[in-house]
Structure 1
C-alpha cells in the first residue's frame, strides 16, 4: 500500500471517518492562515500597527507550514490502518 492513494481512505467506515477529521483540521488551519494574512495586511495601513502585522504574517506562515504536515500525518495514519487490516486478514486465513 502506498501513501496518497484514494483507495486508502475508502477501505471502511473508520478510514473515511479519519480522513474526514483530518480534512476538517486542514480546512481550519487554512482559514486561520488566511485570516492571519488578511488581518496582517489591513494592519499594515497604520504604521503604529506594523509589528503586530508582522507577527500575524509569521503566525500565518506557521499555519501554512502545518497544512502539509496535517496531510502527511493523515496519510501515515491511513497507511498504518491498512497495514493492520492486512495483518488481520492474514491472521484470519491461518
Structure 2
C-alpha cells in the first residue's frame, strides 16, 4: 500500500469509515483554525484585546499544525490494517 494514495480509502468498508471520520475531524480543525485567526485579527483592532488576539493566533497555528497530523495518522492506520510484509517492501524499495 502506498501512503497517501487516493485509492486507499476504497480498499474496504473500514478504510472508507476511517477516511470519512478523519475528513470530518480535519474539516472541524480547519474551521477552528480559521475562526481563531479571524477573531484574533478583530482583536488586534483594540489595544486592550491584542494579547488575547496573539493567543488566538497561536491557537490557530496549532490547529493548522494538527491538520497534517490527522492525515498522517489516517495513513498509518491504513498501513497497520494492510499486509505488514507489503508495507515493509514498499518502505524498503
**TM-score normalised by structure 1 residue count:** 0.85
Deviates more, 1:35-44 or 1:74-83: 74-83
Task: Establish whether residue 69 from structure 1 lines up as the match of residue 66 from structure 2.
Answer: no
SS in structure 2 of the partner of residue 2 of structure 1: coil
Q: Structure 2: which 5+ runs fail to align?
A: 87-93
The residue aligned with 2:11 is 11
Identify the residue that residue 82 of structure 2 maps to in structure 1.
Answer: 82
Offset at residue 83 of structure 1 (A): 2.2
Q: Which runs of 5+ in 1 are unaligned?
A: 87-94
TM-score (norm 2): 0.86
Asked which structure has the greater CA Rg, the reply is 1
CA distance in 1, matches of 2:61, 2:28: 14
CA distance, structure 2, for counterparts of residue 77 and residue 49 of structure 1: 42
Partner SS for 1:45: coil
In the alignment of these two chains, the number of paired residues is: 85
Corresponding position: 1:21 with 2:25:
no
Shift of 1:80: 1.4
Check whether the contact 1:33–1:60 (CA below 8 A) recurs between aligned residues: yes
Computed over aligned residues only, the root mean square deviation of the Cα atoms, in angstroms, reads 1.3
